[in-house]
A and B are shown apart, each in its own frame.
Chain A
Amino acid sequence: MSNKELPDDFFKNLPDRIISRISKEEHSQELLSHSKILATLPRDNPYTVPPEYFERLANRKITNPRVIKMWTGITSIAATVLIMVLIITGNSVESDIIITDDDILTYYEDNVQEVDAYMLSDLIVMNEEETLIEEYILEEIISDLSDEELELLNQTL
């Protein structure tokens, strides 16, 4: 028989197939020697998954951490500026405070070393239909605020 009649990678995969078969036979023998009941039970998988679950799982995106870091940096700076303004102005603050992009950039230029741009660099898996980054970041920022800061934020919003 010439090699052309064999499946691709036949010899490459042969050792693994043999080892796998030996391992399965050893396992069956071991199980039989310990428990005839378990050895004879059918090992059908009782669990199922939604249709095409694995096709969809493989296609979910694991987001590049650099994108998250950029979002994190920008959002945390904006939140920090907002909180700083609230703290400085206290209860006398008007409810229509507007933080401009210039404010954010100025704060960024002055305080960039103090901003922990990596605090939310944990990765997020996103479904194609889901864009939860903003929600996730907002939750994380809010969870870092003190009670006083939260109260102040509540009064302003």
Chain B
Amino acid sequence: MEKISDNKILELIDNEVTFDEGLKKLIVKYQEPLYWHIRRMVHVHEDADDVIQNAFIKVYRGIKKFKKESKLYTWLYRIATNEAITFINKKKRNSNYYSEDGISDLENTLKADEYFDGDEIQIALIRAIEILPKRQKQVFRLRYYDEMSYKDMAEVLEISVGSLKASYHHAIQKIETYLIDNIDYVQ
């Protein structure tokens, strides 16, 4: 991640002359964490590529209205999350692999994907996450993979910290049970 501060990026963006430079720096700084966050939600590279482009378009449109009441980082995660959810909802009409019923479709898609190198346990973990309730799914991914603080997650998902902690706890319990039941060597 580039070391430029968010304040410096916003300063550049606030100035008409340096707007493009600021936007470019924002993209360079945040493209990877946002991409991986989106990828864990949509799974397929081509889909993640579409979603991240749409997310940056939204950022471009909305950055002037960004009120700085929240952190830039949580605002970006919020946009990326919303874009991925919108994409998933659209895709659900044509595919069911974002649901428990379609979990084998997802597994087949991942195994055939040239940009997926996961082993059996990683696929099992993805399956376990995918069958969680929506909120628990989001909370688990942000906490487990992105190691986001509960305070920041509260800004991204607009859920209270207490509720987030409970969701994370429930998600972990369900995933653990799933792994024990489905993977022979996990005990």
Report A-chain residues with C-beta under 8 Å of the C-beta of B173. 34-35
Tell me which of B53-61, B95-103, B154-162 binds A.
B53-61
**What range describes how many residues of A lie at the interface?**
20 to 34
Chain B contact residue count (CB 8 A cutoff): 44
In the bound complex, CA of A1 to CA of B85 (Å): 52
Q: Is B172 an interface residue (CB 8 A)?
A: yes
Asked if B71 is at the interface (CB within 8 A of a chain A CB), the reply is: no
Knowing A38-B176, A46-B122, the reply to whether A58 touches B27 (Cβ < 8 A) is yes
Q: Are A34 and B169 in contact (CB under 8 A)?
A: yes
With known contacts A9-B3, A13-B3, A35-B172, A57–B52 Cβ distance under 8 A: yes
Report the bound CA distance from A123 to B56 in whole Å: 10
Q: Flag whether B116 is at the interface (Cβ < 8 A).
A: yes
Chain B CB count within 10 A is highest, among A37, A44, A46, A124, for A46
**B residues near A43, Cβ cutoff 8 Å:** 144-145
- Interface locus among A23-31, A103-111, A135-143, A145-153: A23-31
Please give, as numbers and ranges, the residues of chain B lying within 8 Å of A41 by CB-CB distance: 121, 125
Known: A31-B144, A34-B169, A35-B172. A47 touches B115 (CB 8 A): yes
Q: Is A14 close to B, CB under 8 A? A: no
Q: Which of A35-93 contact B (CB under 8 A)?
A: 35, 37-38, 41, 43-50, 53-54, 57-58, 60, 62
Beta-carbon contact of B24 and A47 below 8 Å? no
Does chain B have a CB within 8 A of A101? Answer: no
Please name all residues of chain B whose beta carbon is closer than 8 Å to the beta carbon of A9 when the two chains form the complex: 3
Least CB distance from B140 to A in Å reads 10
Q: Does A122 contact B (CB under 8 A)?
A: yes
Bound CA–CA A47/B180 (angstroms): 23
CB pair B172 A46 closer than 8 Å:
no
Among A35, A43, A47, A123, the most chain B Cβ lie within 10 Å of the Cβ of A47
Residues 49-71 of B contacting A (Cβ, < 8 Å): 49, 52-53, 56-57, 60-61
Any chain B CB within 8 A of the CB of A99?
no
A-B contact pairs, 6 of them (CB 8 A): A43-B145, A46-B122, A57-B31, A62-B56, A125-B53, A125-B56
